[in-house]
């Protein structure tokens, strides 16, 4: 099942810089693992914002939720989720 997300990062302004650095490094590591595993199919930065658009492939909604909620930045993300289905006019 495919999911399109728009994730906006909302870091508290008083978060210590060293804590933020550690979270961002852990986020990068896990996101790259998800990409290698095929769960995170595409990842784009939204120009001019601390946000991204991403395409996820998960077994179902429960798998998607478990995958995304494991992200180190999850507590600081505002996430819009769009579940996707194949379009009948799309080329195979």
Q: What residue numbers bound the domain in which 20 lies?
A: 2-84
pLDDT of residue 92: 78
Across 10-24, b (16+ Cβ under 10 Å) vs e yields eeeeeeeeeeeeebe
Query: Is position 32 within any domain?
Result: yes
Query: Is position 92 within any domain?
Result: no
Query: Is position 22 within any domain?
Result: yes
Query: Is position 91 within any domain?
Result: no
Could you list the pLDDT tens digit for every one of the 92 residues in the chain? 999 999 999 999 999 999 999 999 999 999 999 999 999 999 999 999 999 999 999 999 999 999 999 999 999 999 999 999 999 999 97
What one-character DSSP code corresponds to residue 47?
T
Residue identified by tokens 């798998």 is 63
Domain count, the chain: 1
What one-character DSSP code corresponds to residue 12?
-
Q: Which two tokens stand for residue 49?
A: 């914002």
Q: Which two tokens stand for residue 87?
A: 């379009």
Query: Is position 21 within any domain?
Result: yes
**Dist CA 92 CA 86 (whole Å):** 9
Say which CATH number the domain at 66 has: 3.30.70.1060
């Amino acid at each position: 099942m495919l999911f399109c997300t728009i994730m906006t990062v909302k870091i508290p302004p008083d978060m210590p810089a060293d804590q933020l650095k550690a979270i961002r490094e852990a986020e990068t590591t896990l996101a790259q693992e998800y990409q290698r595993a095929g769960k995170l199919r595409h990842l784009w930065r939204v120009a001019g914002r601390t946000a991204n658009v991403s395409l996820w492939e998960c077994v179902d909604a429960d798998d998607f939720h478990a995958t995304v909620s494991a992200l180190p930045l999850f507590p600081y993300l505002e996430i819009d989720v769009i579940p996707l289905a194949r379009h009948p006019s799309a080329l195979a």
